[in-house]
Amino acid sequence: MTKGVVLAHDYATQRGGAERVALVMAEAFPGSPMFTTLYDRTGTYPEFDQVLLRPSRLNQVPLFRRHHRLALPFLAPAVSSHRMDADVLLASSSGWAHGYRGARRTVVYCYTPARWLYFKDRYLSGRSPGVQGWAKDVLARTSLGVLGPPLRRWDRRAAHRADKYMACSTVVRTAIEREYGLDAEVLAPPPAMTPLGGVREVPDVTAGYLLCVARLMPYKNVDNVIEAADRLGGPELVVVGDGPDRARLAELASRKKNARVHMLGRVDDDELRWLYRHASALVAASYEDFGLSPLEANAFGCPAVALRDGGFLDSIREGVTGVYFDTLDTEDIVAAMDEALRHDWDRRALVAHAESYGSVRFQRRLREVVTEQLLRE
């Protein structure tokens, strides 16, 4: 393998904020290969086709590509067994990519210390509805019960091999210090979804709606957003995203009488740009390590309504780019929605806030850090 800068990402099997950031990293270091455990071309963003992905041998198992959590017992050995001949490894990690070995220097961009090891209750609690979901949860809990202690030892050893740690938010920096005893530099990720690009209208949706963009998992609390929108009884609610909780949420939405709820499922980027552009406000009710959707909404002049917790504390300027609700109580969310709809937002301030987090800033700092490591003996 050619020496130089190589990249790593946990797995490219889904469409989420970490995958968008990994793609921005790949743009910063064109031609650098990106190592990953699993790659599902149909499950993640099509832009990964343009990246020199190097998946592990586990990728030969189709079941693992579709359900990466089932591969949990095998991921650490797959990562540890790989040796790379490189000057600098830049790892995009929430649990696995920081474990690759062999590079002369290692920089870790961390979205969170492994949720399944340090925040297990939040990671697993009520996560997967239905019989199949229950079986997956039982398997995950059983695996973690057996593998938890050795995986934590593996994880902490991997963290301490890194030469530099970077965190996506203040709350993640605190978690890194608590779990690893390491001091991390905070570098906020960029909103990868920007107004630059194609736009395609979404039919049967009337401008002025509330928008929720999230993976449809129980811990994302989309059901709380649906309940609040129905209680508010005002604009329509448009829900974008897919996941194992979709059937339950669609059934819940169908019973609501005061608010029309559109469950759009997965949309492409052109459609998402149109949806951000014509929304009155974005609503985000989950705990996020950073949470890119408020910034993406701001880029289109759309304010955010979000839970006062996690990474949202870094990305929202209260009263300028959005409003908070303090609990998941329906009345709290309704009050915040109503405040956002009544507020006279300065669109220029919203857009400027999003632009201050742009990819140029992010990529420039990553290149500076990598150059610093290349120059070290």
Tell me what pLDDT residue 259 has.
82
Tell me what pLDDT residue 321 has.
98
**Per-residue confidence band for 131, with pLDDT thresholds at 50, 70 and 90:** very low
69 and 130 share a domain? yes
114 and 173 share a domain? yes
245 and 168 share a domain? no
Amino acid at 51: V
227 and 250 share a domain? yes
**For the residues 10-14, what does the mean pLDDT come to?**
94
Tell me what pLDDT residue 133 has.
52
Tell me what pLDDT residue 275 has.
98
pLDDT tens digit sequence for 334-370:
999 999 999 999 999 999 999 999 999 999 999 999 9
CA-CA distance, 365 to 361, in Å (whole number)? 6
Number of domains in the chain: 2
Long-range contacts of 93-98 (CB under 8 A, 24+ apart): 93/8, 93/9, 93/10, 94/10, 94/18, 94/289, 95/10, 95/155, 96/10, 96/11, 96/37, 97/8, 97/9, 97/10, 97/35, 97/36, 98/8, 98/158, 98/159, 98/162
47 belongs to a structural domain: yes
132 belongs to a structural domain: yes
44 and 186 share a domain? yes
**Per-residue confidence band for 148, with pLDDT thresholds at 50, 70 and 90:** confident
200 belongs to a structural domain: no
340 and 313 share a domain? yes
Q: Using CA of residue 244, residue 248, residue 254, residue 260, what is the dihedral sign? A: negative
Better-predicted residue by pLDDT, 265 or 134:
265
Q: How far apart are the first and last CA of the chain?
A: 21
pLDDT tens digit sequence for 224-265:
999 999 999 989 999 999 988 999 999 999 999 888 999 999
Of the candidates 58, 61, 64, 105, the residue with the CA atom closest to the CA atom of residue 82:
58
Burial grade of 320 (CB within 10 A; 0-12, 13-18, 19 or more): middle
185 and 217 share a domain? no
Q: What is the CATH number of the domain that holds 341?
A: 3.40.50.2000
The radius of gyration of the chain's CA atoms, rounded to the nearest angstrom, is 20
DSSP state letters, 66-129: H-GGGGHHHHHHHHHT-B---SEEEEEESSSGGG-B--SEEEEEES-S-HHHHSHHHHHTT-S-
Evaluate if residue 304 carries a pLDDT over 90.
yes
335 and 365 share a domain? no
Percent of the chain beyond pLDDT 70? 92
173 and 276 share a domain? no
303 and 215 share a domain? yes
Tell me what pLDDT residue 139 has.
57
36 and 60 share a domain? yes
Evaluate if residue 76 carries a pLDDT over 50.
yes
Structural domain for 269, as ranges: 209-355
195 belongs to a structural domain: no
**Per-residue confidence band for 315, with pLDDT thresholds at 50, 70 and 90:** very high
44 belongs to a structural domain: yes
Mean pLDDT for the chain overall? 92
**For the residues 312-322, what does the mean pLDDT come to?**
97
159 and 244 share a domain? no
